[in-house]
Amino acid sequence: MTVQEGGVQEGRAGAEIGSPRKRSEDARLIAGRTQWTDNMTPQGTLHVAFLRSPHAHARIVRVDASQAMGRPGVVAAFSGADFADEQGSLPCAWPVTDDMKHPDHPPMAVSEVRFVGEPVACVVARDKSAAFDALDEIDIDYEPLPAVLNMDAALAEGSDLVHDDLGTNKSYTWVFENGDLDAALRDAPVVIEREYVQQRLIPTAMEPRSVLCVPDGDDFTLYSATQIPHILRLMLATVTEIPEHRIRVVAPDVGGGFGSKLQVCGEEVLALLLARRLGRPVKWTESRSEGNMTVHHGRDQIQRLTLAAERDGRIRGFKADILADMGAYLMLVTPGIPILGAFMYNGIYKMDAYSFTCTGVFTTKTPTDAYRGAGRPEATYAIERMMDELAAELGVDPIEIRRRNWIAHEEFPYETIAGLTYDSGNYEAATDKALELFEYDKLRAEQADRRDRRDPVQLGIGVSTFTEMCGIAPSRVLGSLSYGAGGWEHASVRILASGKVEVVTGSSPHGQGHETAWAQIAADRLGVPFEDVRVLHGDTAISPKGMDTYGSRSLAIGGVALFSACDKVVEKARRVAAHLLEAAEQDLEFTAGRFSVRGVQEEGKTLQEVALATFAAHDLPDGVEPSLDSDATFDPENFSFPHGTHLCAAEVDTETGMVHLRKYVAVDDVGKVINPLIVEGQVHGGLAQGIAQALYEEAVYDADGNLTTTTMADYLIPSAADLPTFTTDRTETPATSNPMGVKGVGEAGTIASTPAVVNAIVDALRPYGVNDVPMPCTPERVWRALRSETKPDTAEPGAGGGLGSASASGSDSDSAGGAQ
Amino acid sequence: MIPAAFDYARPASVDDAVRVLADAGEDAKVLAGGQSLMPLLRLRLAIPDALVDVGRIGALREIRDDGDALVIGAMATHHQVIRDPLVREHAPLIAAAAETVADPAVRHRGTFGGSLAHADPAGDLPAVALALDAVFLVRSVRGEREIPATEFFVDWMTSAMEPDELLVGVRVPKPGPGWGVHYEKFHRTAQAWAIVGVACAVRRNGGAIEEARVALTNMGPAPVRADGVENAVRGRPVSEDSFRSAAEHATEGTEPPGDLHGSPEYRSHLATVLTSRALAAAAV
């Protein structure tokens, strides 16, 4: 959408919410005046480097770190065994079933390694290079064990086991059923079955993970590139048995996360333990290749789907059988990620029956966990791809098939087949707007023309009418799902003597723009200038209560907490103002930051005047404490449900398989908007990430369980040059579950866009008999789909060109690099 | 990651550079912009004893007219090459290919000679040099010698230069009037290496192709001159049919690699399709 610049009047109260303010944090971030964890090096800091397993699965026979100790600058070297008694086991906070298999997960492997990249030993040195160089001197004997890479094979009788003591590679099976699915499948005239693979993705935050732990006697300050300083503090205390009040966690400037920093990393635990053992600050920052191997991965599910429908297109039932790759261990919320999708496979549609079964499977790969959307992109992909398959099967336009099934706007609130109550929405309005912006009929006409002409470049149109659940989450619901914590969020507002305002939020920004949006909320609610508000966050000593940032929850939970805290400030100030104005509280009105007696505008007190009077406390009403400070904790009663209609036009070169995105229209309904510029930025970034899953990204393991996509030459991330110009717009249907009417936007673009793109590609190729292209839809896969070949259904590593060829042939290191 | 330790020298002249290189022995590498070498060092795929940084030798940045040829200094950056009027006039294929290299940051630091000496078959410029019959000017303490492009690219990331030799420049014959050129690069993202690339120059005489030069990127351990295509299209009318049938010869003599971005079979298919397109674009 068009954003008007300069439309904001500085400090005009009441005009902040809804204003497209440029983000106040950006000048600092863009100019490099930032405080990344890795930028901090207190006096005496020691640097850690980790030696990581080169095997997918092996028994550790012997570790000898003594030679490393003799290297210059090296202070200490340790194996997992050296920390066996104190390192504990990394936490999993989401035991999704009572009988879930949950293996121990030592931060540094002691007796067995189960994925390539698992830490086995470490060197601590006076500089980073010395630590890294000394890793070569650590001698480890491994006894290789069989890699377990394929989920179906892992579940078969007699399979090699990832965790021998568990006796199985199955972690859990989680089931949700509603309605008579058997009847639907038996009676429906149309039954469509498909299998889709949600490939494994590597979350790629701009800032790599980094941790610095500074000891101070029995107290520890841990700086970390984390999304979750509060959860991390509690978990570190639990794992290490260092009392919670002895640990302070600081998330300074954090450069993106997308879920990858919603984690309690072994490196964080070890930094804390090393700092305690050595009594000096200890720092670790990963390299990009190290990160690709060891930051938790996302997606990696096999979806076996069945949709039953009537001949007129009405859906009878939907069945989703999911295999979800846990990787080698269960990390913070690993098993729950696919379960978050369980409530979304029905999408925006009405149906009689629904069945969801998910089995979590251990493999000898990097653990999976939350990645932007976390379960909901997978679910949305499944239902939106299947809606297009249904449309094709019946010869009905994909928009029309959706109209026949979606919840009409007058039917809200609507209890879905998955048991959620969608509070509000207007799918008709978003779709109509998107169709108009897209010029749908014109593009369909061009598509028909290209088909008639047998143009080698075919045009396809993809539709995605998505919804998602965000605002995570009502604590009672989390409890019913066996999640280990609640879903509330906290905010406090401090009114300083001068009338300036400090907002403290438990939500922990890492790129979202809280410092701007939160100041806009506070400025409007308190009637103070935007510039008078400062937002504090990301430090458990400054912001002691919080549930942090993930799942598009910040505004819908944390923003609402701030909204309530501001209202409490105004109520406190009203008592003082009434006293000062010698009026009854109920006779006061509060507008634009000023209390006045109704009907007597000229007599009044500004919030700043009340603040100063409260600070002086010379003349307060009896029983009133000299403070306007207030806090609030908001626990939602329901999720929020952003939705939207995304349309993608893709040109597919049938001679080469290359896909070119011609046009992309996203009309999102994220409820009330605080800052439309930030919302648009979130949508753009989300679209890029969702399109990346459709076209570019895939973590690929070879037959021995080695990750082959360890550099950005092999793991392709699109840049602006690879993406179309996005047309974004909004409809605005307020959420009814919170007083601000807000829903959340952080994941919408990612959730919506992947099926829109793949639907467009398949739509282009349907005349050739193609009904699927596995993701990512590389040119070769499109080409093979056109030749009715399914191989290779996963990318196969090998030697090729560029740096990719160099790394694939890495053992021959001396020959790499001809001369210059 | 962090490169292994190495000695570092930054000579101020070519004479100094070749002396340092001679003294440094077999395991020295020349640093000529570092856009390919530095990643290899950081990944420890290359562990040289010494780096000889020729980045401060101004004379190596020169691009000059040498009568019937251009001489492009080895240390001219891609950015410089793309904008140079002599290159644009007499070797537009080089400018066209250099424009597709990676991203603007890399094109500002990466160098023409560095990219050629790296001899990566996935690099864009080796195939171009081969198609244009470029001659490589090489210096060492033992003197100067010239290596034709057909002999320069020996194997995967291996050139015909000895360890003590420094590439100082490349002589590119001026083709004369009537040539059309095109570099057809097929890659998944803007910054990615070519899965396959086709460097093509075509001279028309009215409605017929008088001569064509075609070389392929990433279709073997070294860039491949597509002689079969050149012969098949010579003398044929300028038409889609001519190009398509000539392009059928594109895979002759190739050994396409297989990697995450394309199997050998797919690369062979692409070479055929892209060669036909490159011929058509160059012949316009």
Residue-level pLDDT at A625? 96
Burial of A388 (0-12, 13-18, 19+ CB in 10 A): buried
* Contact assignment for B43 to A700 by CB distance below 8 Å: no
Query: What angle (nearest 5°) sits at the alpha carbon of residue A521, between those of residues A515 and A523?
Result: 95
Residue-level pLDDT at A9? 39
Q: Provide, rounded to the nearest whole percent, the portion of chain A with pLDDT above 70.
A: 95
* Contact assignment for B257 to A805 by CB distance below 8 Å: yes
Residue-level pLDDT at A790? 58
Burial of B42 (0-12, 13-18, 19+ CB in 10 A): middle
A354-398 pLDDT per residue, tens: 999 999 999 999 999 999 999 999 999 999 999 999 999 999 999
Residue-level pLDDT at A601? 86
Query: Which two structure tokens, joined as six digits, stand for A62?
Result: 């012997």
Query: What angle (nearest 5°) sits at the alpha carbon of residue A696, between those of residues A695 and A697?
Result: 125
Residue in A closest to B52 by C-alpha:
A820
A717 vs B: CB within 8 A: yes
The answer to whether B196 and B274 are in contact (CB under 8 A) is yes
Average pLDDT, chain B: 96
A216 or A797, which is more confident: A216
Query: Which two structure tokens, joined as six digits, stand for A70?
Result: 């003799």
A134-171 pLDDT per residue, tens: 999 999 999 999 999 999 999 999 999 999 999 999 99
User: Of the CATH numbers 3.30.70.890, 3.40.50.300, 3.40.50.2300, 3.90.1170.50, which one belongs to the domain with range A37-145+206-256+261-294?
Assistant: 3.90.1170.50
Number of C-beta neighbours around residue B23 at 10 A:
13
A731-749 pLDDT per residue, tens: 999 999 999 999 999 999 9
Whether B236 shows a pLDDT value over 70: the answer reads yes
Residue-level pLDDT at A657? 98
B176-208 pLDDT per residue, tens: 888 999 999 999 999 999 999 999 999 999 899
A651 vs B: CB within 8 A: no
Residue-level pLDDT at B1? 75
Whether A811 shows a pLDDT value over 60: the answer reads no
* Contact assignment for A814 to B46 by CB distance below 8 Å: yes
Segment B18-40 mean pLDDT: 94
* Contact assignment for B273 to A708 by CB distance below 8 Å: no
DSSP letter string over A458-527?
A: EEEEEEEEEE--BS---HHHHHHTT-SS---EEEEEEE-TTS-EEEEESS--SSS-HHHHHHHHHHHHHT
* Contact assignment for B259 to A783 by CB distance below 8 Å: no
Beta bridge partners of B159: B153
A254-289 pLDDT per residue, tens: 999 999 999 999 999 999 999 999 999 999 999 999
In chain A, residues 214-273 whose CB comes closer than 8 Å to chain B? none
Residue-level pLDDT at B181? 97
Residue ranges of the domains in chain A?
A: 37-145+206-256+261-294, 298-472+638-786, 488-634
Residue-level pLDDT at A194? 98
Dist CA A482 CA A784 (whole Å): 44
Q: For residue A85, what is the enclosing H or E element?
A: none
A207-243 pLDDT per residue, tens: 999 999 999 999 999 999 999 999 999 999 999 999 9
DSSP class of A8: P
Just give the CATH number of A488-634.
Answer: 3.30.365.10
Q: Reply yes or no: is the peptide bond before residue A792 cis, omega within 30 of 0.
A: yes
Dist CA A38 CA A26 (whole Å): 19
A284 vs B: CB within 8 A: no
Whether A8 shows a pLDDT value over 90: the answer reads no
Confidence of residue A802 (pLDDT cuts 50, 70, 90): very low
Residue in A closest to B116 by C-alpha:
A820
Average pLDDT, chain A: 94
How far is B176 from chain A, CA to nearest CA, in Å?
31
Whether A244 shows a pLDDT value over 90: the answer reads yes
Q: Provide, rounded to the nearest whole percent, the portion of chain A with pLDDT above 90.
A: 93
Confidence of residue A796 (pLDDT cuts 50, 70, 90): low
Residue in B closest to A781 by C-alpha:
B262
The answer to whether A802 and B110 are in contact (CB under 8 A) is no
Matching CATH topology for A298-472+638-786 and A488-634?
Answer: yes
* Contact assignment for A800 to B122 by CB distance below 8 Å: yes
Residue-level pLDDT at A813? 35
Just give the CATH number of A298-472+638-786.
Answer: 3.30.365.10
Sign for the CA dihedral angle at A26, A488, A327, A274 comes to positive
Q: How far is CA A652 from the centre of its chain?
A: 30
Dist CA A414 CA A408 (whole Å): 9
Confidence of residue A803 (pLDDT cuts 50, 70, 90): low
Structural domains in chain B, sorted by start: 7-52 (3.30.43.10), 61-173 (3.30.465.10), 179-282 (3.30.390.50)
Residue in A closest to B218 by C-alpha:
A801
Number of C-beta neighbours around residue A54 at 10 A:
14
Distances (CA, A) of A385 to A192, A381, A802: 11, 6, 35
Distances (CA, A) of A720 to A92, A520, A728: 37, 30, 16
Confidence of residue B2 (pLDDT cuts 50, 70, 90): confident
Contacts of B119 in chain A (CB under 8 A): 818-819
Segment A26-52 mean pLDDT: 95
Contacts of B47 in chain A (CB under 8 A): 813-814
Query: What angle (nearest 5°) sits at the alpha carbon of residue A660, between those of residues A656 and A661?
Result: 155
Whether A798 shows a pLDDT value over 80: the answer reads no
A816 or A120, which is more confident: A120
* Contact assignment for A133 to B36 by CB distance below 8 Å: no
Residue-level pLDDT at A14? 67
- Amino acid at residue number B108: H
* Contact assignment for B1 to A287 by CB distance below 8 Å: yes
Contacts of A658 in chain B (CB under 8 A): 186
Question: Residues for chain A: how many in total?
Answer: 820
Dist CA A273 CA A215 (whole Å): 10
| pTM for this prediction | 0.95
In chain A, residues 91-150 whose CB comes closer than 8 Å to chain B? 128-129, 132-133
> Of B39, B45, B119, which has the smallest distance from its Cβ to A810's Cβ?
B45
Segment A104-114 mean pLDDT: 98
For A417, phi then psi, to 5°, come to: -65, -20
Segments in B37-111 forming alpha helices (H)? 37-42, 78-83, 85-90, 92-98, 104-109
Contacts of B103 in chain A (CB under 8 A): 719, 721
Whether A814 shows a pLDDT value over 80: the answer reads no
> Of B118, B261, B262, which has the smallest distance from its Cβ to A817's Cβ?
B118
Confidence of residue A799 (pLDDT cuts 50, 70, 90): very low
ipTM of the complex: 0.96
Residue-level pLDDT at A801? 42
How far is B220 from chain A, CA to nearest CA, in Å?
9
Residue-level pLDDT at A5? 40
DSSP class of A228: -
